[in-house]
Amino acid sequence: MAHKSLRKIEIPHDRFEMRLSGSGGQGMILASVIIAEAIGTDPSKRVIQTQSYGPEARGGASKADVVVSTSEIYYPKALTLDLLLAMTQESMDKYYVDLKENGTLIIDNVLVTQVPTDNYYGLPFTRLAREEAGHVMVANVIALGAIAGLTGIVSHDALVKAVLARAPRGTEEKNRKAVEIGFREALKIKK
C-alpha cells in the first residue's frame, strides 16, 4: 500500500546511500551484498557495502548499508540515507532518524505498523514471500526486486544474475520468482 504524498524517486548522480534493515536472520546483510554486486556490474557506478554485526546477529535490529556513486567513494559508511528499507518495527524505530528529509522509505507493512510519516511505500514482503514464493526466507529478495523496480538503481537482469549467483543450490527458481514478485509490486506502485 502506497501512501498519498509519495513522489517520484530520483537517484542523484553523485552519491546515493541506502540502508537495508530488519532483524537478525532476515537476510539484510546478504541482500545488501547481492544488490551491491548487481550495481557493481555497471561500469559507470562505484559501490561499497558495509554491515553491522554483533548482537544484531541474534535477532535485534540489523543493518547493512550500500553507497553508490558515479565517482570515487572516500567514506564507505552511510550518513544520511536516501533510501531506508525497514523490515521490522524495531529497525524502523532505530534507523528512521538517519533518513534524509526527502528520502525514500520502504517498509514491510506486515511487520511495521507505526510509521512517523505518510510518505512511504508499504509492501507486504513477508506475506508475499510466504504465500507466493513459498518461504519467508525470500522476503529480502522480494524487497530487492521492489527497490530495483522503484528506483532503477540496478537493472532487472543484473539483479537476477546476482541473486542466482548467491542462491543456495536448489533454490534458484524460488529466488528468481522472488525477484519477479518484487518488480511486479514496484510496477503496481508506479501505476
Residue type, 143: A
Query: pLDDT value at position 6?
Result: 47
pLDDT of residue 54: 55
Domain 15-190: what homologous superfamily? Pyruvate-ferredoxin oxidoreductase, PFOR, domain III (3.40.920.10)
Cell of 190: 508506479
pLDDT of residue 13: 57
Please give the residue that has the higher pLDDT: either 96 or 53: 96
Out of 9-23, 32-46, 66-80, 87-101, which region has the weakest mean confidence (pLDDT)?
9-23
Tens-digit pLDDT profile for residues 101-124? 989 999 999 999 999 999 999 999
Rg of the Cα atoms in the chain: 15
Q: What is the pLDDT of residue 191?
A: 79
User: Rounded mean pLDDT of 142-166?
Assistant: 97
* Alpha carbons 154 and 83: distance in angstroms, whole number: 14
For residue 10, the model assigns a pLDDT of: 55
Domain ranges for the chain, please list them.
Answer: 15-190
pLDDT at 63 over 70: yes
Q: What is the pLDDT of residue 5?
A: 43
Is the pLDDT at 25 greater than 60? The verdict is: yes
Residue 141 confidence (pLDDT): 98
Q: Tell me the average pLDDT of the chain.
A: 90
- Those residues with Cβ within 8 angstroms of residue 150's Cβ, 6 or more apart along the chain or in another chain: 9, 104, 106, 121, 186, 189, 190
